[in-house]
């Protein structure tokens, strides 16, 4: 067997027992799902607006709507069609924490691209090997390697 080939796997049993055992834990924790720190007790972080949404650069949409309303007082943005605003875009400067996910920063994801805030290229972070954890979890849910 080559180093890349993996042994076929098969379920050791149907994993319903573990599911039913965890139901009591889930129902006990559901009475208080969020904590003062903003996290759910199941390990999920409830963060919205972090980083905050970009609002600079979208003012032209409101101006466009105001012009349409001046021509047609019955215009309602909830029901009436209006043209797509091609001028709307986030206009905060590069490196601002507000626009970290903006399309203008897509080229900054290239590791060879020098970052404008420190003039250094990005360094690829160390990769996390999750295979040992996956093998342990496979045994817990009833999956085993075929011998």
112 is a domain residue: no
Tell me the backbone φ, ψ of residue 81, rounded to 5 degrees. Answer: -75, 145
Give this prediction's pTM: 0.41
Distance, CA of 100 to CA of 53 (rounded, Å) = 9
Residue 15 has a pLDDT of 65
85 is a domain residue: yes
Distance, CA of 52 to CA of 64 (rounded, Å) = 25
Q: Where in the sequence is the domain holding 64, given as residue range(s)?
A: 52-101
pLDDT, tens only, 4-21: 666 666 655 566 777 777
Residue 50 CA: distances (Å) to CA of 23, 38, 44, 97, 111: 32, 12, 15, 9, 24
pLDDT, tens only, 79-104: 998 889 988 888 888 777 776 666 77
pLDDT, tens only, 34-84: 566 665 555 555 566 777 778 888 899 999 999 999 999 999 988 998 889
What's the structural domain count of the chain?
1
78 is a domain residue: yes
76 is a domain residue: yes
119 is a domain residue: no
Q: Which are the contacts of 128, defined by CB distance < 8 A and separation ≥ 6?
A: none
138 is a domain residue: no
Distance, CA of 25 to CA of 50 (rounded, Å) = 30
65 is a domain residue: yes
Token pair belonging to 119: 């003039």
89 is a domain residue: yes
């Amino acid at each position: 067997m080559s180093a890349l080939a993996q042994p076929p796997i098969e379920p050791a049993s149907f994993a319903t027992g573990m599911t039913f055992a965890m139901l009591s834990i889930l129902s006990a924790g559901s009475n208080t799902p969020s904590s003062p720190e903003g996290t759910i007790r199941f390990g999920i972080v409830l963060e919205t607006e972090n980083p905050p949404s970009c609002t600079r650069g979208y003012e032209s949409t409101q101006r466009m709507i105001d012009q349409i309303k001046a021509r047609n007082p019955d215009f309602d943005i909830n029901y009436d069609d209006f043209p797509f605003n091609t001028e709307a875009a986030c206009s905060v400067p590069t490196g601002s924490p507000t626009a970290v996910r903006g399309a203008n920063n897509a080229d900054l994801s290239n590791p060879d691209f020098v970052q404008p805030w420190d003039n250094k290229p990005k360094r690829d972070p160390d990769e996390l090997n999750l295979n040992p954890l996956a093998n342990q979890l496979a045994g817990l849910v009833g999956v085993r390697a075929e011998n």
